[in-house]
Amino acid sequence: MKSARVLATVTGLLFLGATMASAQAPKPAGDMSRHTMEGQVTKVDAKKGWVDVKTSEGSMKLHFPPDTLANVKKGDSVSVELGLKDNGPAAPSSSGKTK
């Protein structure tokens, strides 16, 4: 029990420190937004790394490294955090064709 409290305290302090550091750091150029959603796993293909998640905002099919889905099962509640970063204009296609 004592070790669980110590772990929780250390984890809380690490989280607090990371939160304060990110709050003080300026946003990188192009970092547009972050969004977190709660949802439920509707399908998992852990061997290929695919998971389907249904949220109140819609359904998503997401890809992860397969080993990260080893313990994820259909029906699990999950949180999905998304970030959007503008990388600027797309590079021109180098198809080799001239106009």
> Using one digit for the tens of pLDDT, what is the confidence trace for 6-22?
344 333 434 444 444 44
Dihedral of CA 51/60/79/30: which sign? positive
77 contacts: CB under 8 Å, gap ≥ 6: 38, 39, 40, 41
pLDDT at 96: 59
Instruction: Give this prediction's pTM.
Output: 0.57
Task: Extract the tokens encoding 93.
Answer: 């296609």
pLDDT at 29 over 70: no
Domain harbouring 44, CATH code: 2.40.50.140
Q: Give how many domains the chain has, as a whole number.
A: 1
Distance between CA atoms of 56 and 47, rounded to whole angstroms? 27
Residue at 66 is within a domain: yes
DSSP class of 89: S
Residue at 20 is within a domain: no
Q: Which residue range forms the structural domain that includes residue 70?
A: 31-83
Residue at 94 is within a domain: no
